[in-house]
Amino acid sequence: MRSSLEIYDLASGRTRTILQTGRLIEAPNWDPDGRTLLINGDGRLFRADIATGAETPVDTGDCIHCNNDHGISPDGATIAISENLPGTGSVIHTLSATGGAPRRISDEPVAYWHGWSPDGQTLAFCGKRGGRFDIWTIPAAGGPETRVTGLDGAEDGHNDGPDYSPDGKWIWFNSDRTGHAQIWKARPDGSAPTRMTGDTFVNWFPHPSPDGNLVLYLAFPSGTEGHPRDRDVGLRLMAPDGTGMREVLRFNGGQGTINVPCWAPNSRAFAFVRYAPE
């Protein structure tokens, strides 16, 4: 099978397969009710029932080129999606969690959604502005963008994958400003940027657990460029202070495996996608 949607249980260290399919699916995001996982495939969104694996389409209106950067608001009422507009680039929309007409939030491409603030008022995204990718925030209702990285123009490199800490005091992200992608965090106003990993792995997509006790991230082999699919990758955990780093899974994955927040609401498990090697 091309794609396998799975859940890793922290207590047992075991995985459970929810869905296997011959098509490409990506980026599981846990519904706050704990019953389904939101995934994308073929430009559309689906909910996969955790108990049965059954898929239910989500109506995204005229947004039919959805990419793997989507997620459900903390109250479960709204979905943020990123759509690849042909010939333009990715932009962010929101829509009702039950489906319906989307509302465009980001005016300027390129913008990839990655995180909701805990109060549901702000979206964090990776945006390409002036030829470089940085971390930005924008009100969930729409409005002016606020830069988080590159404030003084001195931070080079690619900044990506932002996700809020559960207390809203930090935005976690990955950046290759020191050579290759490592995990960083900064205050939402861009202050106190702090590197949290410094190893030979190429580290992407940090996701703090809802209880604030762990951070999950994706580790590519040394020398990897970008975040490709079909690589021998590891899923690693660490404490929010950067201690206790450990690998919990290794498999064929990469792009699409954990691009968006993927923790269970109770912080006891996380969802991911593995791929059959091409």
| DSSP calls for the chain | --EEEEEEETTTTEEEEEEEESS--EEEEE-TTSSEEEEEETTEEEEEETTT--EEEE--TT---B-S--EE-TTSSEEEEEEEETTTEEEEEEEETT----EE---SS-EEEEEE-TTSSEEEEEEEETTEEEEEEEETT----EE-S-TTS---S-EEEEEE-TTSS-EEEEE-TTSS-EEEEE-TTS-S-EE---SSSEEEEEEE-TTSS-EEEEEEPTT--S--SSEEEEEEEE-TTS-S-EEEEEEEE-TTSSSS--B-TTSSEEEEEEE---
User: Which residues make Cβ contacts (< 8 Å) with residue 243, sequence separation at least 6?
Assistant: none
| Tokens at 260, concatenated | 């968006």
- What is the identity of the amino acid at 72? I
Q: Is the pLDDT of residue 34 over 70?
A: yes
- The number of angstroms, rounded, from the C-alpha of 1 to the middle of its chain's C-alpha atoms is 23
pLDDT the model gives residue 153: 66
Q: For residue 57, name the pLDDT band (cuts at 50, 70, 90).
A: very high
Better pLDDT: 233 or 157: 233
Q: Is the pLDDT of residue 44 over 70?
A: yes
The pLDDT of 249-272, averaged and rounded, is 98
pLDDT the model gives residue 277: 80
- C-alpha to C-alpha distance for 218 and 259, rounded to whole angstroms: 9
Q: For residue 1, name the pLDDT band (cuts at 50, 70, 90).
A: low
Percent residues over pLDDT 90 in the chain: 93
Nearest to 92 by CA among 117, 119, 127, 59: 127
Q: For residue 278, name the pLDDT band (cuts at 50, 70, 90).
A: low
pLDDT the model gives residue 152: 73
Q: What is the pTM of this model?
A: 0.97
Which CATH fold would you assign to the domain 3-275?
Answer: Neuraminidase (2.120.10)
The pLDDT of 23-39, averaged and rounded, is 97
The pLDDT of 87-102, averaged and rounded, is 96
Percent residues over pLDDT 70 in the chain: 98
Reported as a single tens digit per residue, the pLDDT across 133-173 is 999 999 999 999 999 999 876 667 899 999 999 999 999 99
Nearest to 8 by CA among 262, 255, 238, 229: 262
Q: What is the mean pLDDT of the chain?
A: 96
pLDDT the model gives residue 265: 98
pLDDT the model gives residue 130: 86
Reported as a single tens digit per residue, the pLDDT across 103-142 is 999 989 999 999 999 999 999 999 999 889 999 999 999 9
